[in-house]
Amino acid sequence: MKSLITNLGPIIMLIGVAILAVYFFTNSHSNNYLISAGVLLIVGFFAHIILNKSIK
């Protein structure tokens, strides 16, 4: 369980990257994909920093 929590930030970031891939390959012109992917990337980045500082 501890390894899942320490890897939660990168997992969230990978979900954001997957959303960007969906945006790119579907030729969508909606900004909703970009906004949600950006939010997930930022949240994942800060979650990675905060969780690794508090657990180790």
In this prediction, residue 13 carries a pLDDT of: 97
> What would the pLDDT profile of 24-35 be if each residue is shown by its tens digit?
999 888 899 999
Give the burial class of 19: count Cβ atoms within 10 A of its Cβ; 0-12 exposed, 13-18 middle, 19 or more buried. buried
Query: Rounded to an integer, what distance in angstroms lies between the CA atom of residue 33 and that of residue 18?
Result: 10
Query: How many domains would you assign to the chain?
Result: 1
Would you place residue 20 in the very low, low, confident or very high pLDDT band (cuts 50, 70, 90)? Answer: very high
Is the pTM of the predicted complex or chain greater than 0.85? yes
Domain span at residue 51 reads: 2-55
Query: Residue 27: its pLDDT value, please?
Result: 87
